[in-house]
Chains A and B, each alone.
Chain A
Amino acid sequence: MSDMTSNAILALDNVSKVFGRADKPVYAARSVSFALHPGRTLALVGESGSGKTTAARLIMREYVPDEGRLLFKGAPMGKADAKALKAYRSAVQMVFQDPFAALNPTHTIRYHLERPLRLHQPDLDAAQRKAAIVELLERVKLDPAQMMPKFPHELSGGQRQRISIARALAVNPQVIVADEPTSMLDVSVRQGILNLLNDMKAELKLALLYITHDIATARYVADDIMVMYAGQIVEWGAVDKVLDDPHHPYTRLLLSAVPDPDRRFDDVRFADELSRIDEIRTQSALPQTQISQVGDNHFFRALPA
């Protein structure tokens, strides 16, 4: 994926993260490489346990890579000092899956948005901070006067997720990692959040990593997509190319299992893959080092022969 790392704001370069005992290692991430670009959304899809959240934690520097490097604006992030770490934290923000757990129930919305401003922009006076909070709430399409004095329990799930997004935006980030931001919301609310993420990306030139197991929403928001299985990215490229012409057996299996109102159960896209679920899982979990290119911006890992 070397061509993807040019002008990237953030990149993982051949990163592995191993858990478990030395004689029985579990690769939560195996030779993972990808790059995030300003104004582009990259979707990371895969089943639970495939390593999606490990990738997010590596980016958030909650995990230190066992192999490989994390590159920020082209420079490797090693053991950064406190100041560099703070700068990184304000550049890279996260929106979590559960909007009910991500906010502190004992604090008002105003407090939630004021705190990152106090910490990361200490020069602002009280009036400037308030103006910034109003702007943030307007940006996420909430009524500032109404919202500021409220507590999280007074808000709907969709509103809380908007607050989480506003909080992430408070520190003027360049990268947002959104880990399943809509999976706990109803379909009708989901759309509003996805549109908001799309608008933020375009208006603020954000680089967005959208982590999900919902392929349809990935297609809706993303420019590029990566499919992860057992710690490896098995296929990646432009979202329409990967979804229309999947090459890795696991991608095919995943796509044939995605709920699709246009196909009844007996009308199957990749029937063969669906009849070999266990075999494909076993094979796809093996290390796959050989990368094949399908076309411009479309790659997959070849299964070992």
Chain B
Amino acid sequence: MSQPVLSVRNLNIDYVGAEGDFHAVKNVSFDIAPGEFFGLAGESGCGKSTIAFAISRLHRPPALIRTGSVIAVNGRNVLELDDADLRRFRWREVAMVFQSAMNSLNPVLTIEAQFYDVLKAHGPISRAAARERAAELLKLVDIAPDRLDAFPHQCSGGMRQRIVIAICLALNPKLLIMDEPTTALDVVVQREILQRIDVLRKKLGFSVLFITHDLGLMVQVSDRIGIMLEGELVEVNDAQTIYRQPQHAYTKRLWASMPKLRGEQTRLEAAP
């Protein structure tokens, strides 16, 4: 296997508190290969978003990454980057689509201005060239270039979400982190967006770290899946295997608590 895009080793993250620390991420290790769609699943509070933020070093106190943890992106330990390196690293190597990203656009700037912001921060570029690049990026996510002069409130939620994804792709990142990117959208829009991401990652070759609590969706789109429980990564396997032959008791209970779309309907018991 070629060098992984992301390699997490012995990641330990604590939330430091006055009355003792909360060990939110416990000794987590996993890799994401180039072009791979990796899903991270688990309930709220299991530590999945904490990991996502740590990868781009966006975690803030009281979160503390313990010494001995390694987060390597293309072989470079992110935890050792200085501020200047970190600025170059974000967006260019790892871009992140946040939960409710559609609300992360600046309401008083046009879409074009928001593309320009990102592009000019990462290299000299003329306004005209930036506009051209922005139009190209919008086309990638199926949005007409005339939207460049629109303000966020003039676009639908799904459209705003796709614009954020287009901005994230502006500097050709090697890894796109998506933390519950479609939770606030309805299923048809969700499908449109994820299908688009799937096509783009095959075309552009980036990897995806996809975080969701929608397990059905995760099995459908991911190549491999990691299941988290209370800060631990309890099972990692390819999507179909983890769905059809889950090994860990918790994974089995998760599938068992999921209502089915077809076939026999049995009373499901909640996973404790």
Interface residue ranges, A against B (CB under 8 Å): 47-48, 186-192, 194-195, 213, 215-217, 219-220, 243-244, 253-254, 256-265, 274, 277
B215: chain A residues within 8 A (beta carbon): 187, 261
Contact B43 A187 (CB under 8 A): yes
Taken together as a complex, chains A and B put the C-alpha atoms of A189 and B271 apart, in Å, by 7
Contact B258 A216 (CB under 8 A): yes
B198: min CB distance to chain A, Å: 6
B265: chain A residues within 8 A (beta carbon): 219-220
B254: chain A residues within 8 A (beta carbon): 187-188
19 pairs, CB–CB < 8 Å, chain A vs chain B: A186-B43, A187-B254, A187-B258, A188-B253, A188-B270, A191-B257, A192-B270, A194-B259, A195-B267, A195-B268, A213-B186, A216-B261, A220-B265, A220-B268, A253-B188, A257-B188, A258-B216, A259-B190, A259-B214
A190: chain B residues within 8 A (beta carbon): 257, 270
Contact A265 B267 (CB under 8 A): no
A244: chain B residues within 8 A (beta carbon): 262
- The interface bits of chain B over 218-253 (1 if a CB of A lies within 8 angstroms of the residue's CB, else 0) are 011100000000000000000000010000000001
Residue count of chain B within 8 Å CB distance of chain A: 37
- The interface bits of chain B over 164-206 (1 if a CB of A lies within 8 angstroms of the residue's CB, else 0) are 0000000000000000000001111111101100100000000
Contact B257 A243 (CB under 8 A): no
Of the listed residues B187, B260, B265, B267, the one surrounded by the most CB atoms of chain A closer than 10 A to its CB is B187
Of the listed residues A48, A188, A215, A264, the one surrounded by the most CB atoms of chain B closer than 10 A to its CB is A188
Contact B269 A261 (CB under 8 A): no
Contact B191 A187 (CB under 8 A): no
A219: chain B residues within 8 A (beta carbon): 259-261, 265
Q: Per a CB cutoff under 8 Å, which of B194, B220, B257 touches A187?
A: B257
Taken together as a complex, chains A and B put the C-alpha atoms of A220 and B266 apart, in Å, by 8
Contact B257 A265 (CB under 8 A): no
Q: Per a CB cutoff under 8 Å, which of B187, B220, B221, B259 touches A254?
A: B187
Whether B92 sits at the interface, judged by CB under 8 Å, is: no
B221: chain A residues within 8 A (beta carbon): 265
Taken together as a complex, chains A and B put the C-alpha atoms of A244 and B192 apart, in Å, by 23
A77: min CB distance to chain B, Å: 31
Taken together as a complex, chains A and B put the C-alpha atoms of A84 and B216 apart, in Å, by 46
Taken together as a complex, chains A and B put the C-alpha atoms of A188 and B269 apart, in Å, by 8
Contact A187 B261 (CB under 8 A): no
B235: min CB distance to chain A, Å: 16
Whether B90 sits at the interface, judged by CB under 8 Å, is: no
A48: min CB distance to chain B, Å: 5
Whether B213 sits at the interface, judged by CB under 8 Å, is: yes
